[in-house]
Structure 1
Amino acid sequence: MVGKLFCQKERKGYLDRKGVKVAKFMNNMPGADWANLFYSRHKGLLTERLCENIKRSRAAVSSEIINKYFDNLQESLENVEPGSIINYDETCFVDDPGRKKVIVKRKTRHPERIIDSTKTSTSVMFAASGDGQLLPPFIVYKSEHLYDTWLANGPKGARYGRNTSGWFD
């Protein structure tokens, strides 16, 4: 079972990146038996989880960029009323996320797999102000047209849009 979790290319790629050559592996590629035995030996440290897909552009954000943002945040918010501070977050619902099981250390909360593309998506933006007011959601469909049936029975006060990508621009 575990042999199916790691594709041969990923197993081989790990060894090649580490510069390790294992003579008993054909073309430096461990087989399914080896993967199953490895998993059995390390059951206390490893577990099977579904990974989360993220785009390469998100994976490329460094801790230095994030730290610089928070270093400047306090200065930027001086003399700003909490009701004027809006925090928003976008989430994307896809029709086929293509998630796979991966083996990771126990207690890993969000295992990720970097991918180059996603399937059809509907994006929703949620927002709240610093004084606790929740704003209506904004929903963007991936479509050429916005159909009336998509607007019926949605969240109270919700706003709707559409574009060819299904993403916020």
Structure 2
Amino acid sequence: MRFGGGRPTVLTSHQEQYLVELLKNLELIGKSVELGRKWLKYFLNRWKGELKVIKEKKIEASRRNGFTENIRCGWFEKLELILRTNNLIARPHVIYNCDESGFSDETACEMVIVSHETKQAYEQSGGSGKSFTTSLICGNAAGDILPPFIIYSAKNLNPQWILGGPPGSSFAVSDSGWITKHLFADWFKSFIEHTKNVSKSVLLIMDNHSCHISIEVIELAKENQILLLLLPPCCTHALQPLDTATFSSAKQSWKRIVTKYFLRSGRKTIRKIDLPVLFKELYSSAFTPKQVLAGFSRAGVWPFDSNAMKEKVARQPLATKQLNQCPQTTSDQNAIGSTVQ
């Protein structure tokens, strides 16, 4: 069978229609399909009204299924209550979000076939890179970004690893390269210093990682009128400002910076002595006020928008009690700090 003036196709029109429906069904059950680029080009051209190619994103199954409409509504109800009760709704400069992310030397994703109506696809397997360095980033809804807290995987901190980074940067080491309760408490003290001139309460939104909450951090928050609001489990991809827009663009910028570094140096991995300078370049290009603001806006935090992120709600939510709980505040586990009246 021929389409236009090209060569005969291997499959009939009926067979290709069946394949289109099969690919759509595979997508619905979470199975991505990889095909050769040459075959893909001609096939998609014939079915461009039905299918398209997009880049998949990394996401765990728990995140993909855990963000329900019940959780989404509960989150925005609680967030609005906190913002209005503490007179924060018109004070974006005191609404902060902090988050850690691993900056890898290998970040490429595959191209997959999805339904033409699909806007995003998520990778369900594969690693995040051969090596990484963790950075804790914090910004507010006014577009201000605080100096990064960079954590190396090492036993001791080499003085040469802290030179040339973004102004005001802090550096530390841990065995795994990830944040620990002790390191987060150290960072939180610097957060207090950065916000000490604010006359009223400060809101800090963060995920519910166990390292973020300790007796020391809770007491410091109470003493300094800092409200700690924890995001619901498995929902940071949809509700955390830095996750929704800022980090995605930063990771693309980081990939370009690392690529140039490899071409220039001929190396296969990033030396710790070189990382601060690379991160300084990233900070100046990716963590701009515009990009930080985009994250808060997209997540519906500020300007406050209770209708935000409806498109992220899971199609088939997990029927578990935990996933149907709303975020808690004050005496509950998800908000700690000065009392919300």
How does the TM-score come out when normalised to structure 1?
A: 0.62
Tell me the residue number matched to 1:71: 77
Contact 1:55 1:116 in 2 (8 A): no
Offset of 1:121 from its aligned partner? 1.9
In structure 2, relative to structure 1, the CA distance for the partners of 1:133 and 1:97 (3 Å cut) is closer
Ranges in structure 1 where 5+ consecutive residues have no aligned partner: 1-10, 18-30
Offset of 1:140 from its aligned partner? 2.2
Structure 1 counterpart of 2:114, from 104, 108, 112:
104
Contact 1:91 1:123 in 2 (8 A): yes
Offset of 1:118 from its aligned partner? 2.9
Q: Aligned AA for 1:14?
A: L
Q: Provide the C-alpha distance between the structure 1 equivalents of 2:126 and 2:99, rounded to a whole number of angstroms.
A: 22
Q: Provide the C-alpha distance between the structure 1 equivalents of 2:57 and 2:49, rounded to a whole number of angstroms.
A: 23
In structure 2, relative to structure 1, the CA distance for the partners of 1:160 and 1:131 (3 Å cut) is same
Q: How does 1:41-80 map to 2 (within 5 A)?
A: 41-64=46-69, 65-77=71-83, 78-80=85-87
Tell me the residue number matched to 2:178: 167
SS in 2 for 1:146: coil
Tell me the residue number matched to 1:137: 148
Offset of 1:167 from its aligned partner? 3.3
Q: How does 1:10-89 map to 2 (within 5 A)?
A: 14=26, 36=40, 38-64=43-69, 65-77=71-83, 78-81=85-88, 82=91, 83-89=93-99
Residue deviations 1:76-98, cap 9 Å, x none?
22225535432234433112235
How does the TM-score come out when normalised to structure 2?
A: 0.35
Q: Provide the C-alpha distance between the structure 1 equivalents of 2:111 and 2:166, rounded to a whole number of angstroms.
A: 33
Tell me the residue number matched to 2:138: 127
Offset of 1:69 from its aligned partner? 0.9
Ranges in structure 2 where 5+ consecutive residues have no aligned partner: 1-22, 30-34, 180-210, 212-341
In structure 2, relative to structure 1, the CA distance for the partners of 1:161 and 1:44 (3 Å cut) is farther
Backbone CA RMSD of aligned residues: 3.5
Aligned residues: 143
Tell me the residue number matched to 1:27: none
